[in-house]
Chains A and B, each alone.
Chain A
Amino acid sequence: MIEMESSLLSFAKASEKETSVLIQVKDVDIYYGENHAVRQVNMPIHERSITALIGPSGCGKSTFIRTINRMNDLIPTARCEGHIDYHGINILSPKVDVVKLRKEIGMVFQQPNPFPKTISENIQLPLKFAGVRNKRKLKDVTEQCLKQVTLWDEVKDRLDRSATGLSGGQQQRLCIARALALKPGVILLDEPTSALDPVSTAKIEELLLQLKKDYTIVIVTHNMQQAARIADYTAFFYQGELVEFGTTKKLFTQPEKKDTADYIAGRFG
């Protein structure tokens, strides 16, 4: 983990200080076979802040977020053009080691997907994948990550029980803890609360606001109120295009484009 960070970061430590933009997306096009799913996206992702991607179903926001850690590589027909610069490296380059990239840019999915293993194994597995063998360290990280997602007090007495016995909200927080285990620079969340009840959703939103002190967060959400509540920046996607990007406040109060205004006002979507 540490060694990969240095190899990834050695290029452009300097540029990091100049700007708070951590990821710069330039002219990204995504195709599924012949289908041009996402067109010409340009946007910055700011460090230690929450960037929300909103838009109606099928607008390409999930496709786009899955490109940031190259999850779309798993889909044989998916193809991606353009640049996503992260610390001066183009993430989309075929030379990038996607396994290392995903250790640096973690992801949480819509459906909570803990492994059918014990709670502690769920958090330790990414570390083991990264080659950590030290038992002491594994234990420490488990505790630390569970505390970060405020799950520690609920599960500390049953770390050896199966994670599938947790409630949906707890499972999703466990998945976030699992994504934190490798201390990634960026966490991507693809509609993390859409399968959860309002109380669990509120807990996760609160948690994300805590986490943005240390992490850069990108979240896809169906729920505009959620974006308004937690995001610092919001991007509105519509029909495969990035219609508008700006600070959440500006986008929700003074949208520049009519489509944005209509969507926010609930006239479609």
Chain B
Amino acid sequence: MGINKTMAGAPSNKDPKLSLLKEKGLIKRFTDHYSESRGRLIIYISASLMIIAVVAITLFLTVQGLRSFVIDRLNVWSFVTGTEWYPDRENNPSFGAFPFIFGSIAVTLLSAVIAAPVAVGCAIFMTELTKKWGQRVLQPVIEILVGIPSVVYGLIGLSVIVPFIKQYFGGSGFSLLAGSLVVGIMILPTVASIAADSIRSVPDTLREASYAIGATKWQTIWRVVIPAAGSSLITAIVLGMSRAFGEALAVQMVVGNARGLPTSIFDPAATLTTIITLSMGNSTYGSVLNDALWSLGLILLMISYIFIVIIRFLSKRRKA
């Protein structure tokens, strides 16, 4: 009480308690303030660097991406919806990016369809069925899988999945399906581990409630735990999708990189990322092709932002 009083009121030198407080180190010294503000400065700098980086990348990409429309006078609508991508044609080159936008979205959705059920199943297995084993064995295995470089997934796709599709479904094997399978397998561990976290965060009281009304284990998982984990499971899947959407290398190795619009999942295709990585090296800075590739990058960024907005929206709804 005495201390509070002294701290609250302006401490004066006449106060006999003040010397005691100084002795006990209760009064802040100048150097304390100094180290405090230095630490704060470092943290503020890190945070602002982060923000500056995001803003700078967005601005740079926007400026570069708009060049093709502003300087090269490409029509935005025909750029987005056109299906003919012949940037190197001598007379009348055409820049129709729709096949790549379609390819990216198709690979993303297909890989999510492939990965989501397996990942959620895996998450249920490791959280609800074999809690100890899942924690001790499966969790580290999944972490290793997350860390495998995408080129390795691409190589496996190239040597296993592509020949398989070629043999059983015909064609060259390089296809939308091959790309989706490779990316699906690649995002599987990411989705599984986030899904497992969200299932773990379902309070045990709900499981108890379910068992107490005579539910079986399966009924509890299916009708109580999964709905309760609900939107954060979807967040896990959307996060996986955003990763699939941005993947270039592994897809490029197996997708076939055809410039036309695929008519089935066994047809070769291309995505926004693969076309950028393949063409960027062959284009000169300032050329129409180069500008068009920047525009593809801008589209990529915009769709990525949409994914992030979806994720934020879902996690907000969960809290509410």
Residues of A within 8 A of B (CB): 69, 71, 74, 99-103, 106-109, 111, 113-117, 125-126, 128-130, 175, 178-179, 181-182
Contacts and interface: CB of A to CB of B under 8 A. Distances in A.
Nearest to B204: A74
B317 to A, nearest CB: 12
Interface in B209-233: 209-216, 219, 223-224, 227-228
Interface string B215-253: 110010001100110000000000000000000000000
A178 B228 contact: no
Interface string B195-216: 0000000010111111111111
10 contacts: A109-B209, A109-B212, A111-B205, A125-B210, A125-B215, A129-B214, A129-B215, A129-B216, A175-B209, A179-B212
Given A113-B208, A113-B209, A114-B209, 7 more contacts: A69-B212, A99-B215, A115-B224, A125-B210, A126-B214, A129-B216, A178-B209
Q: How large is the interface on B (under 10, 10 to 19, 20 to 34, 35 or more residues)?
A: 10 to 19
B205 to A, nearest CB: 4
B213 A181 contact: yes
Contacts of B208: 71, 74, 109, 113
Most buried by A among B209, B210, B212, B219: B212
Interface in B106-153: none
Nearest to B132: A76
Given A125-B223, A128-B223, A113 B213 contact: no
Nearest to A4: B214
A126 B212 CA distance: 9
Nearest to B215: A129
**Interface residue SS majority, chain B:** helix
A115 B203 CA distance: 11
A99 B212 contact: no
Interface of B: 203, 205-216, 219, 223-224, 227-228
Contacts of A99: 214-216
Nearest to B217: A99
B214 A116 contact: no
Nearest to A107: B212
B219 A113 contact: no
A4 to B, nearest CB: 9
Contacts of A179: 212-213
Given A102-B212, A102-B213, A129 B223 contact: yes
A74 B211 contact: yes
A94 to B, nearest CB: 17
Contacts of A116: 206, 227-228
Nearest to B230: A116
B132 to A, nearest CB: 9
